Structure 1
């Protein structure tokens, strides 16, 4: 190895200046707000004043005994458990169906993706009109089919499921595009070899396509878990947490505590609990996938 090569590989303090801007921005935009949030959660902090009282773990103990917080945590976990599998399965099915040339497939891909760029206000307005009792499109469809009208947004058992389905309809385009991108990375010669061997389609799907999409499936699942744990605007606009508190999410609870009750310390403590739950959920997902698929 030449002296010049050794010189290039030798550590130099000046190299740190290349990563210093990134480290500074990362610390400013992520690490500092995170540390500041943890600090505020240990205080009884009023949003309208700079006065704060150190309470230590008092906010967390209060959350532990808060029945409303227990309910919103359970609601959010249920929402994630309902919506994430639907996102993964349905977006994968759409990607498999639309992964072909032709104008119709391109039009359908664009149609599904365009819905995800609409604002949440527009989506919830359209669906609230469609779900109106008696006069809404869904109610009229049920009446035409002879099905009794269902209280989709006013039932304790159906409201959260309805919002989950609306959310899936709204943003199914992004995971579909991720799966399409992953499908197009699979070498075509593998499928050509399977076709020469007259391999049945279901074996091609289970032995070639799905194993090749393992990383994409994990990525989509993780993205959706993180996104759905932060669900808020569609719930706020469609049911405002009702009926009977059955659709109120953790983020809505944080919003109400911070900006309606003006209890910033309590709201920040709830946000730290949400962060911990999300980290546990993502870690569990990664561990399960590694356990199923072995070392990558």
Structure 2
């Protein structure tokens, strides 16, 4: 067998899997977005751009896009900043710090369904533990998941709690990779803790911050389980997100063409956000 062919044979399984499970579904979804199909009948009716025109005229879809963007900004922003602060505090090689690191990471390994059920109880307006604690300060019970003003924030809080530990560990790995000699030199120059953090830690940690933010953006746009289990998109579509909306249209109302059009929009939004993020922040990342 010629040596030139061997490398292609080694990568062939990965390429085949990528084409079958990534590229083909995207192309099939794009094709469906131009058709009217109820998921049951074998016949698909070509409707052109009608599905997209209906989407852009749908107030519910506009609300869904707004919810998704608010959820993404809130979840990514809070998680990235809070995880960084905790990682800096826990960046010590002691038993107590290691124990706290393990405790913070533990929610990440719990099933998301279990997490959603747990927080359903904690946020219950009548018997929830959070409202019970608020009663100590004479604060009236809050309908966290039933009020459109607090429902989306509650989902953001749940996801931050679930993903915080994982991001802390990622930050800690980045912090521990920074050479200690740099900090020793800064201390000899009598640099303040704030100047050391802003001029050494943040620039050296920028590749890790870049990774954490982009991964959380991808994850937040795909939120589904917490929405389905905790609120089912309500109240008044206050927590309805793009993926859940796509699921409702396709597998509840059996409007696969319309759902595929929403999927195309989601794909385009993710592509635009990712390209913008890479162009904006990639130049600010210090890899050396």
Offset, 1:25: 2.2
Name 2:29's counterpart in structure 1: 37
Contact preservation (8 Å) 2:206, 2:286:
no
Where in structure 2 are the equivalents of 1:186-201 lying within 5 Å? 186-201=178-193
1:103-182 pair list within 5 angstroms: 103-182=95-174
The answer on 1:51 being equivalent to 2:47 is no
Distance in 1, matches of 2:179 and 2:189, equals 17
Instruction: Tell me the equivalent position of 2:71.
Output: 79
> Equivalent residue of 2:127, what SS?
coil
**Root mean square deviation, CA, Å:** 1.9
Which of the residues 63, 74, 98 maps onto 2:55? 63
Structure possessing the higher radius of gyration over alpha carbons:
1
Instruction: Return the alpha-carbon distance in structure 1 between the equivalents of residues 285 and 106 of structure 2.
Output: 34
Tell me the TM-score normalised to structure 1 length.
0.91
Aligned to 1:259: 251
Between the aligned partners of 1:170 and 1:22, the Cα distance in structure 2 is 31
Match of 2:236 among 244, 249, 267: 244
- Using structure 2 for the length normalisation, give the TM-score: 0.93
CA contact (8 A) 2:124 2:144 kept: no
Residue 294 of structure 1, CA deviation: 9.1
Contact 2:207 2:285 in 1 (8 A): no
Structure 1 residue 208 and structure 2 residue 200: aligned? Answer: yes
SS of alignment partner, residue 172 of structure 1: helix
- Distance in 1 between residues matched to 2:231 and 2:13, nearest whole Å: 44
Structure 2 segments unaligned to the other structure (5+ residues): none
1:218 pairs with one of 202, 210, 233? 210
Aligned-partner Cα distance in 2 for 1:233–1:16: 39
Which SS does the other structure have where 2:45 is aligned? strand
CA separation in 1, counterparts of 2:101 and 2:179? 22
CA 1:290/1:182 → structure 2, altered by over 3 Å: closer, same or farther?
same
- Residues 102-150 of structure 1 show CA distances to partners (whole Å, capped at 9, x for unaligned) of 1111111111111011112211111111112242211111110222332
> Matched residue pairs, number?
286
Q: Deviations over 1:150-209 (max 9, x none)?
A: 232222221111110111001112211111111111111111212222221111101110
